[in-house]
């Protein structure tokens, strides 16, 4: 495992050190981070189309980042990936994720999103990256708690269409040698293990269809986030270290009662302040040989972002496990002796 790293999306702002690539990278390095995950929708950090077409631009970008003391861990297209699949009920709210000239034109917006993801594949290749973070988008999320009941075949049709939109993108990522890691997240059609399995099957078990594992979203769904690793570790290629807590009351539970985040039973917390058992998560990921990055994603309704970032780097570093190369009882063993082995088993 590599890290600690930090996702820059929630920290970018209008004042220094959060308003330029070099200054925010130097800030991250000063806190002890060794990697940064870059949101590609912020033009101050990357020109994605240029990165897709110019290896020289990417070499320069990587050099500028590394001169600040950190590496680029992955690129993120969470906002653009969301726009690959948008149900009309959400058009107005998601229009802000698209360039202004595409707003009010869902078809053109989807085409732009698909092309943007393809740019991200090539940019990742040029930067020497092997994984990419995104959202799946959603066509049937509005039916997640069905009333009236879902018509027969609706779920199958929804995942068939979602896969049809993503498969050409996945193929481009495959050509570039980069895994697409979907953040499994409520609001997306890929929001738990069962939905990921449906999508994976609909893509023909595409080798580039993988998972960004973020346990905070599983706490809020009351899903077993440790067993999730046991079930899907072969597809987990990215890891967001984000905390959460769930404290249901007689007034409100999983759905939150339309309350603000601070008043919801399920809410995100700064890393180390919530209920996520990170010690067990890091142990399981180490057990299964996870080789990707441990990336802090800060989202908290109580603690200040800079304090969360400052505390996050040592917290992650203290959780990371260097996997042993020998068994603890090797001292009591001996060289292989075939004759002895045969005697022990009685032959």
Statement: residue 329 has pLDDT above 80: no
Contacts of 7 by beta carbon, 8 Å cutoff, 6+ apart: 36, 37, 39, 76, 240, 295, 296, 297, 298
Residue 139 CB-half CA count within 13 A: 18
Q: What pLDDT shows up at residue 242?
A: 98
Statement: residue 155 has pLDDT above 90: yes
CA-CA-CA-CA torsion sign (112, 118, 120, 126) = negative
Instruction: Convert the pLDDT of each residue in 43-82 to its tens digit.
Output: 999 999 999 999 999 999 999 999 999 999 999 999 999 9
Q: What pLDDT shows up at residue 343?
A: 92
Statement: residue 327 has pLDDT above 90: no
Q: What pLDDT shows up at residue 332?
A: 72
Q: pLDDT class for 325, splitting at 50, 70, 90?
A: confident
Beta bridge partners of residue 183, listed in sequence order: 212
The pair of structure tokens assigned to 309 is 């970032």
Instruction: Convert the pLDDT of each residue in 201-228 to its tens digit.
Output: 999 999 999 999 999 999 999 999 999 9
**Residue listed under structure tokens 């050190």:** 17
Q: What pLDDT shows up at residue 121?
A: 98
Helical (H) or strand (E) element with 86: none
The pair of structure tokens assigned to 88 is 């009309």
DSSP 8-state code for residue 151:
P
Task: Specify the CATH number for the domain of residue 110.
Answer: 3.20.20.150
> Rounded distance, CA 33 to CA 309, Å?
9
Mean pLDDT to the nearest integer, 311-320: 98
Q: pLDDT class for 90, splitting at 50, 70, 90?
A: very high
**Residue listed under structure tokens 């969470």:** 78
CA-CA-CA-CA torsion sign (48, 239, 293, 316) = positive
Statement: residue 85 has pLDDT above 80: yes
Statement: residue 261 has pLDDT above 90: yes
Q: What pLDDT shows up at residue 20?
A: 98
Q: What pLDDT shows up at residue 212?
A: 98
Q: pLDDT class for 326, splitting at 50, 70, 90?
A: confident
Query: How far apart are the two ends of the chain, measured CA to CA in Å?
Result: 44
Contact (Cβ atoms closer than 8 angstroms) between residue 81 and residue 134: yes
Instruction: Convert the pLDDT of each residue in 161-193 to its tens digit.
Output: 999 999 999 999 999 999 999 999 999 999 999
Pairing, β 243-246 against β 35-39 = unpaired
Contact (Cβ atoms closer than 8 angstroms) between residue 211 and residue 236: yes
How many Cβ atoms are within 10 Å of 313's Cβ, its own excluded? 22
Average pLDDT of the chain is 97
CA dihedral 63, 67, 68, 70 (to 10 degrees): 60
What's the domain count of the chain? 1
Statement: residue 290 has pLDDT above 80: yes
The fraction of the chain above a pLDDT of 90, given in percent, is 95
> Rounded distance, CA 326 to CA 324, Å?
6
Give the 3-state secondary structure of residue 149: coil
Statement: residue 328 has pLDDT above 90: no
Q: What's this model's pTM, rounded to 2 decimal places?
A: 0.95
Q: What pLDDT shows up at residue 188?
A: 98
* C-alpha closest to that of 29 among 66, 76, 61: 66
Q: What pLDDT shows up at residue 335?
A: 81
DSSP 8-state code for residue 139:
S
Q: What pLDDT shows up at residue 22?
A: 98
Statement: residue 336 has pLDDT above 90: no
Residue 281 CB-half CA count within 13 A: 24
What beta strand segments (E) does the chain contain?
2-7, 35-39, 71-77, 131-134, 179-183, 209-213, 236-241, 243-246, 266-269, 293-296
Q: pLDDT class for 38, splitting at 50, 70, 90?
A: very high
Could you tell me the residue range of the domain that residue 272 belongs to? 2-344
Instruction: Convert the pLDDT of each residue in 118-138 to its tens digit.
Output: 999 999 999 999 999 999 999
Q: C-alpha distances in angstroms, 151 versus 155, 189, 191?
A: 9, 17, 21
Q: pLDDT class for 98, splitting at 50, 70, 90?
A: very high
Contact (Cβ atoms closer than 8 angstroms) between residue 122 and residue 52: yes
Statement: residue 305 has pLDDT above 80: yes
**Residue listed under structure tokens 């005697």:** 343
């Amino acid at each position: 495992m590599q890290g600690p790293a930090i996702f820059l999306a929630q920290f970018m702002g209008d004042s220094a050190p959060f308003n330029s690539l070099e200054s925010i990278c130097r800030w991250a390095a000063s806190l002890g981070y060794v990697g940064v995950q870059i949101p590609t929708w912020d033009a101050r950090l990357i020109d994605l189309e240029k990165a897709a077409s110019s290896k020289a631009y990417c070499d320069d970008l990587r050099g500028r980042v590394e001169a600040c003391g950190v590496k680029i861990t992955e690129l993120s297209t969470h906002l653009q990936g969301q726009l690959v699949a948008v149900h009309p009920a959400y058009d107005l709210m998601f229009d802000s994720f698209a360039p202004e000239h595409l707003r009010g034109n869902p078809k053109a917006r989807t085409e732009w999103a698909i092309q943007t993801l393809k740019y991200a594949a090539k940019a990742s290749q040029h930067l020497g990256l092997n994984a990419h973070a995104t959202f799946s988008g959603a066509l049937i999320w509005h039916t997640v708690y069905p009333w009236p009941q879902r018509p027969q075949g609706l779920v199958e049709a929804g995942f068939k269409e979602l896969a049809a939109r993503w498969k050409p993108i996945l193929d481009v990522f495959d050509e570039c040698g980069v895994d697409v890691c979907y953040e499994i997240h409520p609001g997306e059609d890929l929001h738990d293990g069962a939905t990921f399995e449906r999508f994976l099957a609909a893509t023909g078990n595409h080798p580039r269809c993988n998972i960004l594992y973020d346990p905070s979203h599983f706490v809020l769904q009351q899903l077993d986030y440790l067993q999730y690793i046991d079930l899907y570790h072969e597809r987990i290629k990215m890891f967001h270290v984000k905390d959460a807590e769930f404290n249901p009351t007689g007034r409100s539970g999983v759905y939150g009662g339309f309350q603000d985040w601070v008043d919801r039973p399920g809410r995100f917390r700064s890393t180390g302040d919530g209920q996520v058992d990170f010690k067990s998560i890091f142990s399981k990921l180490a057990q299964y040989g996870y080789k990707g990055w441990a990336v802090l994603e800060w989202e908290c309704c109580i603690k200040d972002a800079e304090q969360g970032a400052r505390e996050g780097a040592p917290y992650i570093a203290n959780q990371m496990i260097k996997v042993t190369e020998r068994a603890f009882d090797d001292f009591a063993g001996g060289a292989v002796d075939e004759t002895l082995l045969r005697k022990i088993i009685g032959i």
